[in-house]
């Protein structure tokens, strides 16, 4: 594919990025990329190797040395990219509370973000993408014409996390994400902002698809 289309869906925690990105990717037949899972994979790797996640140099060194590759898999009609470590994808391990606690520290390391940016840009080898994250439209693919930013009221996002059995201080997470020195969370220039506090996933993905299809070449 000569010029793959990249749809960047950024936003705050629990704003529905994953659910809606998957719905959009499935509807369009595009490849879904969860960039947060890539950072979680590195956090898990650091924990496995007993790397101090508070030590920036140690984390950067681990990121520089680990043996990874990208692969595209299909499940239930959804094609998605995942990052393998030594040919293994730690699907369950990256969702544990221990990994969740470590990922914010790992993701704040500038050298890590540089490595992730290049790796995430490499995903275009798989074709048209729907990529979710926190800096896709601002840092990873700032040139894309398809930029979206999802958000919802803090109390609504907290309720969503609680319903999933996760107790997280989202206000503190928002502050860390927006104030980090390297590629902070912010609304990309030209992004369509969707506040889905009172919207279902079907309504949110429907709004996204309407905007995307209006911009796609005939």
Mean per-residue pLDDT, 30-52? 97
Residue 1 has pLDDT above 70, yes or no: no
Short-list 23, 37, 8, CA closest to 199: 23
Rounded mean pLDDT, 23-35: 98
Q: Give the tokens for residue 57.
A: 């140099």
- Provide, rounded to the nearest whole percent, the portion of the chain with pLDDT above 70: 100
Is residue 32 within 8 A of residue 130, CB to CB? The reply is: yes
Pairing of strands 6-11, 146-151: parallel
2 has a pLDDT exceeding 80: no
pLDDT digits (tens, 9 = 90+) for 48-94: 999 999 999 999 999 999 999 999 999 999 999 999 999 999 999 99
Give the angle subtended at the CA of 120 by the CAs of 168 and 171, to the nearest 5°: 20
What are the chain's domains?
A: 6-215 (3.40.50.300)
How would you label 11-24 residue by residue, b for 16+ Cβ within 10 Å and e otherwise?
bbbbbbbeebbbbb
Helices (H) and strands (E) in the chain, counts: 8, 7
What is the structure's pLDDT at 90?
A: 97
pLDDT for 218 beyond 80: no
Residue-level pLDDT at 133: 95
The residue-averaged pLDDT of 14-29 equals 94
CA–CA distances in Å: residue 106 to residues 36, 53, 168: 11, 6, 17
Mean pLDDT for 180-195 is 86
Instruction: Supply the pLDDT for residue 190.
Output: 94
């Amino acid at each position: 594919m000569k010029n793959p289309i990249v749809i960047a869906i950024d936003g705050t925690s629990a704003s529905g990025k994953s659910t809606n990105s998957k719905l959009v990717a499935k509807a369009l037949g595009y490849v879904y990329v969860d960039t947060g899972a890539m950072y979680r994979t590195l956090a898990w790797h650091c924990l496995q190797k007993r790397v101090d996640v508070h030590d920036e140099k140690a984390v950067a060194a681990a990121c520089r040395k680990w043996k990874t590759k990208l692969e595209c898999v299909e499940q239930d009609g959804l094609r998605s990219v995942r990052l393998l470590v030594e040919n293994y994808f730690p699907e369950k391990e990256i969702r544990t509370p221990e990994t969740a606690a470590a990922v914010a520290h790992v993701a704040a390391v500038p050298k890590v973000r540089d490595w992730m940016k290049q790796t995430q840009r490499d995903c275009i080898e798989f074709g048209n993408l729907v990529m979710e994250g926190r800096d896709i439209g601002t840092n990873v693919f700032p040139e894309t014409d398809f930029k979206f930013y999802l958000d919802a009221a803090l109390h609504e996002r907290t309720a969503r996390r609680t319903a999933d059995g996760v107790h997280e201080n989202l206000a503190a997470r928002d502050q860390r994400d927006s104030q980090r020195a390297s590629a902070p969370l912010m609304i990309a220039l030209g992004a369509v902002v969707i506040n889905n506090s009172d919207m279902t996933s079907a309504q949110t993905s429907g709004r996204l698809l309407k905007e995307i299809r209006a911009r796609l070449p005939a």
